[in-house]
Amino acid sequence: MMRGAWATMRIPESFNIETDFAIKEKYKKASSFVKCDLCRMVVGRTVDTLGEAYQEDDIYDYVDKICDVEDLYDSHEMREAPEHHGSRWMIAKPADGAPKRSDLEVRWQSHAMKELCDNVIRPLDDEIKDTFMLMKRRRTKKSKGKDNVAETSRGATIQTACSKMRLCTGDAAKHAGEL
């Protein structure tokens, strides 16, 4: 028996029920299909921002604001996925030559991604922090010449964090593209 649930809802400054409701609902429904892609996008941005020379405090400072990176969401789109993707929807950078998204589309896609991040990434941010510290220890071992040290690349960091959060498992991990 479920006794309660936590969720974060974001409401934009202006909301017109007549023009915004249908598109808001479209991307709200799609958000349940893009958890792995969102994780890969957000953790990938974290890897790119922090690089390899970070301290534990740097991770904590960045991860505290992980869901508030507006330009990250605006530069990606939610779109229906091809059949081989393994999911009905996906997050990707807009394709070259693709029709330009309307401001309303960008706004509600970004809104859906931020809200999903608040609800599925932020509560599990310790897994991201743990993964970054694990990768740092692995790099230290590698630099000391120890053999049999697991990979510490960008892709390995993303996959480890998203798997620990149980957002990318099985087919979702196989079909997820680079974000």
Residue 62 has what pLDDT?
Answer: 94
Q: Is residue 65 over pLDDT 70? A: yes
What does the alpha-carbon distance between residue 77 and residue 84 come to, in Å, rounded to a whole number?
A: 19
Q: Check residue 163 and give its pLDDT.
A: 96
Q: What is the pLDDT of residue 42?
A: 97
Average pLDDT, the chain: 84
Higher pLDDT, 149 or 161: 161
pLDDT tens-digit profile of 43-57?
999 999 998 888 999
Give the contacts of 120 (CB within 8 A, at least 6 positions apart).
35, 38, 39, 165, 167
| Across 34-46, average pLDDT | 96
Instruction: Please check the confidence at residue 152 and state whether its pLDDT lies above 90.
Output: no
Inform me whether the pLDDT recorded for 147 exceeds 70. Answer: no
How far is residue 78's CA from residue 26's CA, in Å, rounded to a whole number? Answer: 10
Structure confidence at residue 169 (pLDDT): 80
pLDDT of 69 over the 70 cut: yes
Q: At what angle do helices 154-164 and 35-50 cross, to 10 degrees?
A: 130
pLDDT band at 173 (very low <50, low <70, confident <90, very high): very low
Where residue 176 falls among pLDDT bands split at 50, 70, 90?
Answer: very low
pLDDT tens digits along 86-106:
889 999 999 887 788 888 899
pLDDT band at 41 (very low <50, low <70, confident <90, very high): very high
